[in-house]
Amino acid sequence: LLFLWSFTVSIFGIGGLLGSSGSRYLTVKFGKKKCLLCNNVLMIVAASIMGCSKISQSFEMILIGRFMCGVSAGLCVPLHHQYVGEISPRKLRGFANSTSSFFWTLGKAIGQISGQRELLGSQALWPLLMASCGLPALVQLVTLPFFPESPPYLLVQKGDTEGFKKAIRQLWGEGQHQAEIDDIVKEKATMKNTKILSVLELVKDRASRWQLYMIVTLTATIQLCGINAV
């Protein structure tokens, strides 16, 4: 039982590793908006599987659902940061990117509060608690189709100039946005002359060695700083 509980908890992280590893390939091939929409479907399916596990009397369904949730979360984190940053005008970009961290922490807090025995953590209601992760995914699945694809993706990856201009007007209005457009055009020109490194090549790259050390140290020690308790 101890092994099964430990595996049930940790399989979320395994799924997250796989999801984040495949995010770059999927975004380049299908675009950020389509990936987010498909990711929402994956999360809703995972929530449904976990929610039905008690009725089916199957702990295997919890394992499968947790793994799928991990894959969905692994895909969502880089996708969300990229998409929100790219659809925001320059003056709001920093604020928009910071909101994702706020809501990530808020979601953890709501999950921990809802998991109390007095609320959804009871013997009768815990399947609803496990299925509740599908609710935000459902909201995004319904609302996201009204948003355009990321303008940089349309211009840089697809070369769709008309679609790019249409997305800019829909997101930022009819005003002057030449500075933002120039930034995206410069990015496109830069990417043509820049080799995209694989994970192994990045690890071997001496120029990025200290940045990698810093990121790994921060990520590994953030759980020790008390943020979860806060």
Indicate the length of the chain as a whole number: 230
Distance between CA atoms of residues 15 and 78, nearest Å: 14
Using left for φ > 0, alpha for ψ between -120 and 50, and beta otherwise, residue 55 falls in alpha
pLDDT value at residue 122? 87
What's the token pair of residue 131? 């299925």
The residue extents of the domains of the chain are 1-147, 195-229
Are the beta carbons of 163 and 156 closer than 8 angstroms? no
Q: Which CATH number is associated with domain 1-147?
A: 1.20.1250.20
Segment-wise mean pLDDT, segments of 10 residues, the chain, 230 residues: 89 90 83 89 93 89 92 89 83 82 85 89 88 91 89 78 80 73 73 73 85 88 74
pLDDT value at residue 228? 63
Provide the total of helices (H) and of strands (E) in the chain, helices listed first: 13, 0
Are the beta carbons of 199 and 215 closer than 8 angstroms? no
Are the beta carbons of 168 and 78 closer than 8 angstroms? no
pLDDT in tens, 138-155: 999 999 999 888 888 887
pLDDT value at residue 47? 93
- Per-residue burial over 135-169, b if 16 or more Cβ lie within 10 Å, else e, is ebbeebbeeeeeebbbbbbbbbbeeeeebbeebbe
